[in-house]
Amino acid sequence: MNKQTKKRSLVFFLVPHFTLLPFAGAIETLRIANRMLGYAAYEWRLASVDGQKVHSSSGIGMEVNSSLADERRFLSGENRPSMVIVCSGIYVEEFHNKSVNAWLREAYNRGAAIGSLCTGAHVLAQAGLLNGKRCAIHWENLPGFSETFPQAEVYADLYEVDGNLYTCAGGTASLDMMLNLIGQDFGEGLVNRVCEQHLTDRVRSAHDRQRLPLRARLGVQNSKVLSIIELMESNLSEPLSLLEIADDAGLSRRQIERLFRQEMGRSPARYYLEIRLDRARHLLVQSSMPVVEVAVACGFVSASHFSKCYRELYNRSPQQERAERKLTMTTNRTGVVV
């Protein structure tokens, strides 16, 4: 099949509480590409486990075209997709379905590209497809994901393409991943035309950062303070001493103390503790790791010291944090409030 008539058939598999923005961004990018081409080069259908409507995290329900049982049958016929994309969002760590895992593996083994939007890499990793593979996931879910799936090479990139595996971080990154796909199929000219329709002024690369730069995120201008914070964020499980930080920054301990008081309103030790506890909070709500393992992963020598520090900052214990998370998930499963 030549480049001008190339077609792809895609299945978007919806996981409960999927995030609507990356899903809509991916679909709309393909729709606009079809419009610019003048024919349906990209065709898609929506699927769910049981073939029933799936509600997004915003409460909007999405009708689907097929069930998992249908899709497993389609793998051996003319309706076999060339690409399967898993769409998920919050609470993805609670989604466990061995049949979905088996279907994804079979589709991959039959030559289909497998992709994910937002937190969908979690589902791909459960299926064993990301062992030794590069992948991207939303920055908020990265700590829990990397602890749960150490075999995967996860990055805080907008998207990653490793062979026939496509993963993106969600949000507007789904546009960038779909533009990459369109570029592979039809070249830069069509990508530019789709961007113009999107009112997108540039095509972001896979390795553009997900989050705002520290300078903008924290409102800090001092380059020394920013470099120290980056160093801290890179060493959470084995915290550096202030002396080690000072040596790396080429400053004295007293200079660092003064800079942090001026720029951050707290001591460097206090700031370091807070970002370690922030990582711990993400692990508590996104994983089933025992509290003692969360403590170790965030650089605490004992669970008791970790719990004491956690309670002082968040006014609740790590156990209470996890219990509240479970209660929230149980409440959300009872129905969608509209």
Buried b (16+ CB within 10 A) or exposed e, 207-230: eeebeeebeeeeeeeeeebbebbe
Q: Do both 166 and 295 map to the same domain?
A: no
Residue 81 DSSP class:
-
21 and 154 housed in the same domain: yes
Cβ neighbours of residue 276 closer than 8 Å, sequence gap 6 or more? 236, 239, 298, 299, 300
By the 8 A CB rule, do 118 and 170 touch?
A: yes
Crossing angle of the two packed helices 20-37 and 188-198, in degrees rounded to 10: 120
- List the structure tokens of 199: 């009112």
Looking at the fold, whether 158 and 223 belong to one and the same domain comes out as no
Is residue 1 included in any domain, yes or no?
no
Residue 208 in any domain: the answer is no
Backbone phi, psi, residue 117, to 5°: -120, 145
Q: Is residue 161 in some structural domain?
A: yes
pLDDT at 153 over 70: yes
Q: What is the pLDDT of residue 1?
A: 42
Total residue length of the chain: 338
What pLDDT band is residue 222 in, cutting at 50, 70 and 90?
confident
- Measure the CA–CA gap between 40 and 35, rounded to whole angstroms: 8
pLDDT digits (tens, 9 = 90+) for 245-284: 999 999 999 999 999 999 999 999 999 999 999 989 988 8
Amino acid residing at 302 = S
User: Tens digits of per-residue pLDDT, 38-87?
Assistant: 999 999 999 999 999 999 999 999 999 999 999 999 999 899 999 999 99
The pLDDT value given to residue 2: 45
- For residues 200, 201, 203, 205, the Cα torsion angle rounded to the nearest 10 degrees is -110
Give me the residue label for tokens 């008081």.
261
Based on the fold, state whether residues 118 and 52 are members of the same structural domain.
Answer: yes
CA 267 to chain centre: 32
Residue 292 domain flag: yes
Query: Containing domain of residue 254, as a range?
Result: 214-329
Does residue 334 belong to any structural domain of this protein? Answer: no
**Model confidence at 128, in pLDDT bands (50, 70, 90)?**
very high
In one-letter notation, the amino acid at residue 6 is K
Asked, for residue 338, whether it belongs to a domain, the answer is: no
CB environment 77-97: b (16+ within 10 A), e (fewer)? eeebbbbbbbbbbbbbbbbee
CATH of the domain at 50: 3.40.50.880
Would you tell me how many other CB atoms lie within 10 Å of the CB of residue 328?
Answer: 13
**The pLDDT of residue 232 is above 80:** yes
Check residue 213 and give its pLDDT. Answer: 64
Looking at the fold, whether 166 and 86 belong to one and the same domain comes out as: yes
Structural domain tally of the chain?
Answer: 2
Pull the structure tokens for residue 11: 């299945």
- Amino acid letter at 33? A
pLDDT for 124 equals: 98
Q: Is residue 136 part of a domain?
A: yes
